[in-house]
A and B are shown apart, each in its own frame.
Chain A
């Protein structure tokens, strides 16, 4: 009996006692090792543990993601848990090999990273750029209240005050960068030659490379809608933005010459006046609008009123003042008289036409 009890106790004892490896595992749990996404689902983070991140150093929040996405914390000790609204610390490295990720930066803009992208998120205050793009493509939607948002790559830097842009780098073997502006405008510059910036307006793109033996970005050119569509697909850009961008791109393509210069069609004598005309035509809405010239009907009405006043002044009480004031002028015809005259003229013409 005693032996049975002993054996049963030993079974209970051996079964419940945590062994050495378990204790070691508990120690491991002190270091937060979070899960990563390896699957194709958004909710692929079941084994994750919550990280302890300092709220002051949060640079953004994860909105939505899909596919193979990893976010490594700045100290490279753990991977950030991938879930909606997960905080992303400043200095985090975001990698989306075969997936895409949408983030909300703490400064306000929306940051969409496409496939094959590697980027770092930085704070607004202490860095020249808020997003450093190591390679790949990023879509940024900056609103007017967000302040100037900067995205940089190895060679170029884009500054966006308000607008929707796509920034690409590492798409060719040579070091290069490309800025596509979908709405509003942005400036583009060489990181190592900041004195000259190129303004890129909506529906335009600019490229920076040493192919053309220049240190500045290329002059902005209209973007093609066919080239835009794959980018929209990769970056999961909102459909409304897509429609707006396509409309703006088409509008920009139709605009061949920037200035509508009527004066330039005439020869040199009139050229001096042409800038004045253009100045008036290109007046921005913010400036005060000049008075438009009076229409013909308004001028006729004013003249009739003036003549009436003059007649009252010069020949008061006279039944036919016109003959008195203007003796040489032909008398004004009434509507009936004009119609009769017209009829007569037509009859004369017919008469003349007959052989």
Chain B
């Protein structure tokens, strides 16, 4: 036997085992890489699924809250419509404002008038209601008329109508006549907001009949001009 063949015969098992081992090592590494890759992809997929589920959860929650808000708005609007005459009307209970306690009636009145001129109507309504209920000297045609205007601005037509009525019912004096005329005009505007055409006509006629020579009447009666 050739010595080379003999050497080959001796080392061939070693070579075979080495080759097998080497091929096994490569094969095993690739499997490991693939496994890691699969895990990574699964993780990414799960993250997407998780995000999608979260989106569904938030969307459902949002839809539920939206429905609750819509139902609440509808219910409150219906209730307010009955109480105030308007769906967006506000009552004195819904104002989150507390009157300053360290002021006199006169000072409160001045503050209320300031808020009225600044169109801060909620505060003006609270102050004026309080002052007029506490001090009888403030229950004048002018103040009732101003209260009516404030409640008109706050979409509380029932309260506005009530205040304007009180202004009109007071005794007519030279000082109060102008405010009573304005109150009649505001009554017509309240009727317009309440979509009551008969009442609009009625109050405009009342204005013309009771105060034919005032400026406020001139706004309505155009001196016989053809429309």
Asked whether, in the complex, the Cβ of B34 is within 8 Å of the Cβ of A22, the reply is yes
- Residues on the B chain within 8 Å of A261, using CB: 110, 113-114, 117
Instruction: Known contacts A11-B22, A25-B34, A25-B37; decide if A214 and B90 are in contact (CB<8 Å).
Output: yes
Asked whether, in the complex, the Cβ of B27 is within 8 Å of the Cβ of A15, the reply is yes
Asked whether, in the complex, the Cβ of B111 is within 8 Å of the Cβ of A33, the reply is no
Q: Nearest CB to that of B23 among chain A residues?
A: A11
Asked whether, in the complex, the Cβ of A118 is within 8 Å of the Cβ of B58, the reply is yes
The interface stretch among B12-20, B157-165, B187-195, B210-218 is B12-20
- Residues on the A chain within 8 Å of B118, using CB: 257-259
CA distance A219 to B68 in the complex (A): 23
B139 within 8 A of A: no
Asked whether, in the complex, the Cβ of B114 is within 8 Å of the Cβ of A95, the reply is no
Q: Nearest CB to that of B59 among chain A residues?
A: A134
Instruction: Known contacts A25-B37, A155-B65; decide if A216 and B90 are in contact (CB<8 Å).
Output: yes
Q: Nearest CB to that of A207 among chain B residues?
A: B96
The interface stretch among A1-9, A180-188, A289-297 is A1-9
Main secondary structure of the interface of B (DSSP, over half): helix
B51 within 8 A of A: yes
A175 within 8 A of B: yes
A275 within 8 A of B: yes
CA distance A257 to B34 in the complex (A): 73
* Shortest distance between the CB of B151 and any CB in chain A (Å): 14
Asked whether, in the complex, the Cβ of A219 is within 8 Å of the Cβ of B111, the reply is no
* Shortest distance between the CB of B214 and any CB in chain A (Å): 14
CA distance A118 to B57 in the complex (A): 11
CA distance A253 to B212 in the complex (A): 48
Asked whether, in the complex, the Cβ of A264 is within 8 Å of the Cβ of B113, the reply is yes
CA distance A174 to B37 in the complex (A): 46
Number of interface residues of A (CB under 8 A): 59
B202 within 8 A of A: no
Asked whether, in the complex, the Cβ of B23 is within 8 Å of the Cβ of A264, the reply is no
CA distance A28 to B34 in the complex (A): 13
A210 within 8 A of B: yes
A195 within 8 A of B: yes
CA distance A10 to B44 in the complex (A): 35
| Contacting residue for A76 out of B48, B73, B88, CB 8 A | B48
* Shortest distance between the CB of A54 and any CB in chain B (Å): 19
B101 within 8 A of A: no
- Residues on the A chain within 8 Å of B52, using CB: 72, 76
Q: Nearest CB to that of A71 among chain B residues?
A: B51
The interface stretch among B74-82, B166-174, B219-227 is B74-82
- Residues on the B chain within 8 Å of A79, using CB: 44, 47-48, 51
Among A196, A215, A221, the one with the most B-chain Cβ atoms within 10 Å of its Cβ is A215
Complex interface bits, B35-69 against A, C-beta within 8 A gives 1, otherwise 0: 00110110011011001101100110110011011
* Shortest distance between the CB of B194 and any CB in chain A (Å): 15
Asked whether, in the complex, the Cβ of A14 is within 8 Å of the Cβ of B27, the reply is yes
Give 27 pairs: A residue, B residue, CB < 8 Å, sorted on A.
A7-B19, A11-B23, A11-B26, A14-B23, A14-B27, A25-B38, A28-B41, A36-B44, A72-B52, A76-B51, A78-B48, A79-B47, A79-B48, A93-B51, A134-B62, A154-B65, A175-B72, A191-B69, A193-B88, A212-B94, A219-B95, A257-B111, A257-B114, A257-B115, A258-B114, A264-B110, A268-B142
> Contact residues of A with B, CB < 8 Å?
1, 3-4, 7-8, 10-11, 14-15, 19, 21-22, 25, 28, 33-36, 47, 70, 72, 76-79, 93, 95, 118, 132, 134-135, 154-155, 175, 190-193, 195-196, 210, 212-216, 218-219, 221, 257-259, 261, 264-265, 268, 271, 275, 278
Q: 19 more A-B contacts (CB under 8 A) besides A10-B19, A76-B51?
A: A15-B23, A19-B34, A78-B48, A79-B47, A118-B54, A134-B58, A134-B59, A155-B65, A190-B69, A196-B88, A212-B93, A213-B80, A213-B94, A215-B73, A219-B96, A219-B97, A221-B96, A259-B114, A259-B117
